[in-house]
Amino acid sequence: MSIQTVDYAVLAPVLVLALGALVVLVTDLFGRPGSSRPGWVAGIVVLVAGIAVPQTLDGRTLCVADDGCAYVVDSTAWAFQLIVVSATFVVVLLSASTVADDHLPSGEYYFLLLGSAAAAVAVPSTRDLVSLLVVLEVVSLPTFALVAMKRGDRRAGEAALKLFLYSVVSVAVALYGVALVYGSTGSVTLIGIAAAVADPDVRTPVLAAGLVMVLAVVLFKIAAFPFNAWAPDTYQGAPVPVAAYLSVVSKLAGFAGLVLLASTFAAWPAAWAGVLAVSSAVTMIGANVAALRQVRAVRLLAWSSVAQAGYVLVPLAALVDDGRPQVGVLTATVAYLAIYAAMNLGAFSVVAVVARQHSDPTLADFDGLARRSPWLGVSMAVFLAALAGLPPGLSGLFAKVGVLAVPTGTGAWWLAGTMAVATVIGLAYYLPWAARLFRRTPGEERREPAGPEPVPIGLGAATAVALLVTVVLSVAPGLAFGLIDG
């Protein structure tokens, strides 16, 4: 067996982000303290990586004659990479004012952010189990420091510790699972494992146990049951842009890994589909019920993002129908994630604006937002409507219909019914929050009208980009559903 020459063009998005992270550090080293230059450099780096992504479609590298290629950019991987890079760019825009207001070390902040994003871009193209776990963990490692970057903030330190502990436990369980999978199949490459699983004699309880253990790391990444308890405390303790990053980019990496595992073990759904179905159902219902009791904006969005992860699990839990791949599963999954990235980042953008005047904002701090800053209030209303799956946020409705079509097509009516119930529960906290935006506050007539919320350029741009994408996908949802074939 001989290893082919590395095709660096296929690895370009990953290399650009990784090398760009080093450039950011050097820029910060020779810049003046408090300079915004590292943020500008980080934004340019992400834009260059975004330009490189379309050029890599159908690329392969690190190939071995008998075992296939270790890095493959098929249409699914390409779609994930495009969403990850786009979401990371919005997070960079979100971060500018937070880094300045909270006096965070800008060089280290953007270095960690780009390092994590580089690994997230690599996840969907990985084609062996060991590398998959490594890149998933590299996505997480920088986020520990990002969450705890507010020096002297006890809550941030506690949030980072919870994230770290859950990560360590999930990875430890997954590593043991990899050992069981390798012992049962004799391979760690996804193509080798898939070939082995096609043989009924290989489908032993040991292999099933190994797969379920490996699922632990991706369930942690997407904050799904039983690895979701870390999310609310971590999001609330982290800077708002970091919480936004964890809720979108980190989840994208987890779902990319889950898609790879589900595709690898597609011939044996009995070993894993039930686990995902139970996780999805408990996540949807539990997170939505927990969100009903929240009064803090970031914490409510944390539970909301957990519930959204449960929705995205629905088509993957119904991946097969009588042993045959169910058409439209990957299309529905990727489309939902693309739409979710836009509407969730948009909601976090508006929360970040309000958080500049109200530390750890509560829902009451959004009262009359549309009266003080009409465009911010209307934008938040659109994002909340999309998350709820209601007009004018029709993109969220199309996303939910897309994932619901899979369990109804396979006869998994209980899962479809659970999602419907969870969606209705979600209305009980999305709608009241949206109503607050237009509420006339007590005594408003007797006071001078409050001035508009000050919006820094970065936060304004992040909100505008997220709103534009949400509106476009509401009018033309085919753009999201057409990202991949099948």
Query: pTM of the prediction?
Result: 0.92
What integer pLDDT is reported at residue 406 of this predicted model? Answer: 84
* Continuous H helices in 30-124: 37-52, 75-101, 106-122
C-alpha 90/C-alpha 78 separation (Å) is 19
Give 423's contacts (C-beta < 8 A, 6+ positions apart).
311, 388, 389, 400
What integer pLDDT is reported at residue 444 of this predicted model? Answer: 53
What integer pLDDT is reported at residue 319 of this predicted model? Answer: 60
Average pLDDT, whole number, for the chain? 87
**From the CB of residue 454, how many other CB atoms can be counted at a distance below 10 Å?**
12
pLDDT tens for each residue of 412-456: 888 889 999 999 999 999 999 999 998 876 655 544 445 566 788
Average pLDDT (286-308) is 94
What integer pLDDT is reported at residue 327 of this predicted model? Answer: 53
What integer pLDDT is reported at residue 280 of this predicted model? Answer: 93
424 class by beta-carbon count within 10 Å (0-12 exposed, 13-18 middle, 19+ buried): exposed
Strand (E) or helix (H) holding 207: helix 205-221
Look at residue 169 and tell me whether its pLDDT is greater than 50. Answer: yes
Average pLDDT (96-121) is 90
Q: Where are the domains positioned within the chain?
A: 272-486
Eight-class DSSP state of 152: T
What integer pLDDT is reported at residue 138 of this predicted model? Answer: 93
pLDDT tens for each residue of 329-348: 888 899 999 999 999 999 99
pLDDT tens for each residue of 188-222: 889 889 889 888 888 899 999 999 999 988 998 99
Give yes or no for a contact between 108 and 149, defined as CB atoms under 8 angstroms apart: yes
Q: 153 is written with which tokens?
A: 């903030």
Bridge pairing between strands 324-325 and 320-321: antiparallel
